[in-house]
Chain A
Amino acid sequence: MDSNWAAEHLQVIRTLMERSALYRRALAPVTILVGAAGTTASVSAWLLKFETPLAFSVYWISVGIISAVSALLLVRQQAIRQKEEFWTPPTRRVVQAALPALLIGFVLGLAVVIAEAQAGFARHPARPTPDITWLPLAWIVLYGCALHAAGFFTPRGLRWLGWIFVFGGLVCLFVWLWVRPFRSQPQLTGNLLMGTFFGLLHLAYGTYLSVTERKNAA
């Protein structure tokens, strides 16, 4: 009798148990949807000239909520099409892993909205509006943390995307702190950052996923 069969059996069990715990729905449509929403929202914000911190925060919090709800509806549609349950244990794990960082981002945004709404009435018109570029940068880094945590329950390199958000956000934070021209138009910079990270980066990742998913299917 082959003496390795028991070890091989254990390896098979381990692999299957890991696979069972992984989130397996197609990620490409979700990331492309979020990327398209981010890019469109960024261009719209630039065209509509959201120049105050209050308008910027309210606008991007709304975009974030709409994108998250749309992504969940898309996942639900995928589940219905495959005649499966929506709220499966892997889906639950992905949401639970991502939730703390996303919640912190939401609360930070909400705090800026409340503070700006209160200060807006009392602020002297001659006083310049504050630069809140730190907020989109915090959102980028926190979103990266959320992706990284969720990536432990997904099979397709989501953790790498998380790292790109974290490192990219931190690099931009240092550039913002020390390079003056970057700070001359804070709201434009904020919208540009949001569009680049939440729009273009998602679109690039979604395209990569759909190409590799098609290749795997073939």
Chain B
Amino acid sequence: MNPEPFLQLDRVIHEKGRLAIMSMLAASPELSFTELRDTLNMTDGNLTTHIRTLQEAGYVAVAKSYQNNRPLTTCSLTPAGRKAFAEYVDLLEQIVRQNRNK
């Protein structure tokens, strides 16, 4: 297998938990913190850590607001995050194609 595409994979996205968050956000304009937590079966702390990492990489934007007097945290992909995710998926597809052609 040509290792080059594998080496190009974005390390920030490649981690299992962060990949799951990015995948969910890629299919929705925005998702609430609780929706992400419940769907991915993550703890509050775990999800917060992953979102912070993605936020620092510039891939995820976090917005805090109030709904019915309750705090609401929503996450969405930034344009840079959307681009990085698309490139990540492209590389995976490239790797799958390489394996098929072997």
Residues of A within 8 A of B (CB): 1, 3-4, 6-7, 9-10, 12-13, 16-21, 24, 80, 82-85, 88-90
A10-B96, A84-B32, A89-B29 known; A20-B19 Cβ under 8 A: no
B23–A10 CB distance below 8 A: no
A89–B28 CB distance below 8 A: yes
**Distance A120 CA – B102 CA, assembled complex (angstroms):** 78
From A3, A19, A82, A85, B99 is in contact (CB under 8 Å) with: A3
- Chain A residues within an 8 Å CB radius of B34: 82-84
A12–B1 CB distance below 8 A: no
A-B contact count (CB 8 A): 70
What are 25 A-B interface contacts by the 8 Å CB criterion? A1-B1, A6-B93, A7-B96, A9-B19, A10-B92, A10-B96, A12-B20, A13-B19, A13-B23, A20-B23, A20-B24, A21-B28, A24-B39, A80-B68, A80-B70, A83-B34, A83-B72, A84-B32, A84-B34, A84-B35, A84-B72, A85-B32, A85-B67, A85-B74, A88-B35
**Distance A21 CA – B96 CA, assembled complex (angstroms):** 25
Chain A residue nearest to B30 (CB atoms) is: A89
**Distance A16 CA – B68 CA, assembled complex (angstroms):** 29
CB distance from B8 to the nearest CB of A (A): 12
**Distance A10 CA – B100 CA, assembled complex (angstroms):** 15
B27–A17 CB distance below 8 A: yes
CB distance from A214 to the nearest CB of B (A): 18
CB distance from A18 to the nearest CB of B (A): 7
Within 8 A of A (CB), among B75-102: 89, 92-93, 95-96, 99, 102
A12–B23 CB distance below 8 A: yes
